[in-house]
Structure 1
Amino acid sequence: MTEGDGDGRSSWSRAVGVISAIGPPVTVATALLFYFGWARADAQAAYMGLNVSLFGYTVQDYLLISINALFLPLVCILAASVAWLALDRLLRRRIEEDRGRAVILRAAGIGALVSGLVVGVSLVLAVVDRTRTALFSPYLMALGVLVATWCVHLRRLGRSSRVPALSAEQRAVETTLILSIVTLLLFWGTADYAQALGRRLAVDYEQGVQFMPRAEVYSPKPLGIGSGAVTEVKVGNGEAPLYRYDGLRLLVLSGGRFFFLHDGWAPRDGTVIVLPDDNSVRIEFRR
């Protein structure tokens, strides 16, 4: 085997290691974004008396819906992760150099106990009072699990000379279990947060419906819109009948359909008007 072959294999192994390390987090993040977008849209549609399938959202639509709300939290999480990695590298170096080893191990033990207590209390609060605490409890539990695991690893590193090292199979099982728990907790927290955000956005439509684009719908046939806030005006004649509908506000165009609210719309007793995006009607928009 030549030196070039050895270097080539080493480079390939490092590349595979990087891909395997980056791939799962990216996959989990994408799945979380999609699930957040779907859960938010589903809760928002349900609060408005609709089914989310009516909007015909695609996977890309759900991802775009979620990014707007999760952009700041994701930036904060990434920044915290960078700081965490720097702190972990510093503490591991000090343990290996035997500088403050006892203090670090004592602090790691306390951190593991406190993190376990946080996980337990958060779980109890999430089960007992879901209306107020469940929104953030899954995230606190995920953080507690990660911190506790990190503290245990630091103590294991500091006591490596007295405690037998885990085998590769044991480390793989441990990592898989921890990642599975954290992933499930993130999905739990994402669902609760997305549903709360979706319901809040539906309520916000009541206060902001007057700022939505005003729409006038023209149709050669009566549409029979049941809302009293929408007025029907006959603007054509007997030979060329034409009906105009006023009082509509554009909500969204999705899945080949126009979704309209009306002036004074409210989630309690409002009506969502759905019209096809085709040549059967003509729509004019204005402020």
Structure 2
Amino acid sequence: MNSIDLEAHWTELRERAEQIVAQEPVLQILLNETVLDRSSFAECLTYRITRKLVNHGASIEVLHNVFMEAFENSPSILEQVACDMIAANERDPACPDVLTPLLYFKGFQALVCYRISHYLWKVARRDFALYLQSLIAETFSVDIHPAAEISCGILLDHATGFVAGETAVIEHDVSILHEVTLGGTGKERGDRHPKVRSGVLLGAGAKILGNVEIGEGSKVGAGSVVLKDVPPHVSVAGVPAKIIGKMKVPNPAHDMRH
């Protein structure tokens, strides 16, 4: 992950919020509560995301404290989140700026929540991590086990129906469309979920099952079912998926030709 200037990122978010309020005054309450009345990027994220989750029964005070604790004790989460915001802005043609994912994109919002649940899992607060996972699923229709390992620069586009199991790994700079499953193949235990390497593009509805590897810079076509390893820098498609060609670009996650 390239180093991100969080102060500059926070300044850009505030400037964009001020522009939106000037253009669309009816959104002033939302922008004040989310951005302009907040004192930091961490507080901004906390206010926006916890208020999405609280509609499903969690205490707003408890969620607020947990989010702020995670950001304070693990500052790298903020860099990961900023990296995800930039990825959405750079790769999604429907995203006009870095603030939009925070305000409106449930894929990004679900990733923020996952990062908090992953922090809780690592500090041995596993019951609360699983509780947060259930809230994420109910709120965003995204089900990511808190033990899954997800790097940054992730675009979770549309997001509805995305599933990642307990031992799934997603490296940096990966783009994922809706209804993608990174799942197991049965009731086996241990290391049983896919490993997605950097630069990969996973098309809508792709199902990747078992402890298989999707090689760096590869692309999985929409609706494909992957049951075995995919080499780096190839395109696969079909049920079951087969290699249909070599990639002409080094990073299909950025190219987004799915």
The TM-score with structure 2 as length reference comes to: 0.24
Bigger relative CO (Cα 8 Å, ≥ 6 apart): 1
- Provide the TM-score with structure 1 as the length reference: 0.22
